[in-house]
Copies of this chain bind each other. A is one copy, B any other.
């Protein structure tokens, strides 16, 4: 059976403007590979209601799971929860279970649960909460969409909360070989190896470092013995390379 598929939707003006680099994508990609869920697409859109709704509807129809990051805080630019509700045509309002979590949290820290903070308890009807052990305000899952915060430490914690509940497939196993030769010299034998192993994914990632041309060849598959055998064959073709 093929592995479940996934897409990620990053809601992030700050990434599109070049102000920050995204860190959550890299974390999610590694965790999904380990869990046997194939990440097939990532989209980054601005804090724009229509753009979020359109991307969500395209991705949730195309993949088994969609993970979102960003836009669920208390400020005016946090519009993800309402956009997700709109995509599902679900009612959204402050929900008692989420409100109780925030009340306990702010009571313990002596801070006021004001109107802005209460927005973080707006959860679509029918959604399941995702625990946030870092800062309290929960994420949520609705249908096949998992809505998580953008702050990296909170995102990491929410991924850890939600992933164990999802059925994974065979973890992706990979091996790589660094070959210090131009890709043009590697390409012929590599194509033959790829054609002889249609069950494996064989990628060539070229680099230029200190004037040296080379490529990192990565062989991936769910059958570790098949990956290892192809790697042995590859190393035999390029004896000077280092695994």
Contact of A190 among B26, B76, B205, B206 (CB under 8 A): B76
A residues near B (Cβ < 8 Å) are 13-22, 25-26, 29-33, 39-47, 51, 55, 73-78, 111-112, 114-117, 119-120, 134-135, 150-151, 153-154, 172, 174, 176, 182-188, 190-191, 194-195, 201-208, 213, 215, 218, 220
Residue of chain B at shortest CB distance from A137: B184
**B40 lies within 8 A of A15 (CB):** no
Nearest B-chain residue to A38, judged by Cβ: B16
A-B contact pairs, 11 of them (CB 8 A): A17-B29, A18-B29, A19-B174, A22-B25, A41-B44, A42-B42, A42-B44, A75-B187, A75-B191, A116-B183, A117-B184
Known: A205-B20, A208-B135, A208-B153. A187 touches B76 (CB 8 A): yes
Min CB gap A148→B, angstroms: 14
A115–B188 CB distance below 8 A: yes
Number of copies: 2
What's the Cα separation between A201 and B202 when bound, in Å?
43
Determine whether the beta carbon of A29 is less than 8 Å from that of B13: no
Which among B30, B153, B208 is the interface contact of A154 at CB below 8 angstroms? B208
Distance in angstroms from A64 CB to nearest chain B CB is 15
